[in-house]
Amino acid sequence: MGSKTKTTEAPALRRELKARHLTMIAIGGSIGTGLFVASGATISQAGPGGALFSYILIGLMVYFLMTSLGELAAYMPVSGSFATYGQNYVEEGFGFALGWNYWYNWAVTIAVDLVAAQLVMGWWFPDTPGWIWSALFLCVIFLLNYISVRGFGEAEYWFSLIKVATVIIFIIVGVAMIIGIFKGVEPVGWSNWTTGDAPFAGGFAAMIGVAMIVGFSFQGTELIGIAAGESENPEKNIPRARAHPEKI
């Protein structure tokens, strides 16, 4: 049975997100726990070559996914995003299931991020109870979602910029360690690609097995679709914001 198309937005939504906000939301959304914490598990299970293969494979899937989502978001910029698209173009129950599945996804992700935050901060401040860090970051997340749309966009922009700068620094330091620029430290070279079962530890099964972890690392790129309902000019800004994360 067909369902009525529902694309009306709630009166409280304000279209105040600019192109730079959407771009950094998409880029910064995919840089986080999955990259800084979970990437180590990916490499240890599948080896450096297997991890690289998995990231390329999932990256291609995300590219095609974001291309489709970007087109739909530009055509129908609603905050319900793919849940609304599923309801309108597939079936109302499908959109209902998508919406609750996405809510559960982020409910679990927030918990994972809070645990990761206390693990990271615990390395710097080992004498501080971990729950304090989790509570502190939970308050920060709540405040960022409580403020205005423009304020949230600005906060996401600068936090994402910090994460991008951190990744660039990590890459520079990693290259320096490989070629041995630091004094008193022997160059690592390509030894990690030949140690043990590397570069493809565990074979093809391991590469497919870590796909879920790799997919978690890409989570957040879809946020431009969610933010389309509050974009200042979605027809122009969504395609531009989608293009930059795909290139990266």
Range from 102-111, 213-222, 235-244 carrying the lowest mean pLDDT: 235-244
CA distances from 194 to 38, 99, 179, 188 (A): 22, 45, 16, 11
Phi, psi dihedral angles at 189 (to 5 degrees): 60, -140
To 10 degrees, what angle do helices 211-218 and 39-75 make? 50
Please tell me which residue, 190 or 165, carries the higher pLDDT value: 165
Average pLDDT (186-199) is 77
Site of tokens 């989570």: 219
Work out the percent of the chain whose per-residue pLDDT is above 70: 92
Helices (H), 76-186: 81-89, 92-124, 130-146, 149-179
| Residue 32, helix vs strand vs coil | coil
What is the rounded distance in angstroms from the CA atom of residue 34 to the CA atom of residue 47?
A: 17
Which span out of 36-50, 118-132, 234-248 was modeled with the highest average pLDDT?
118-132
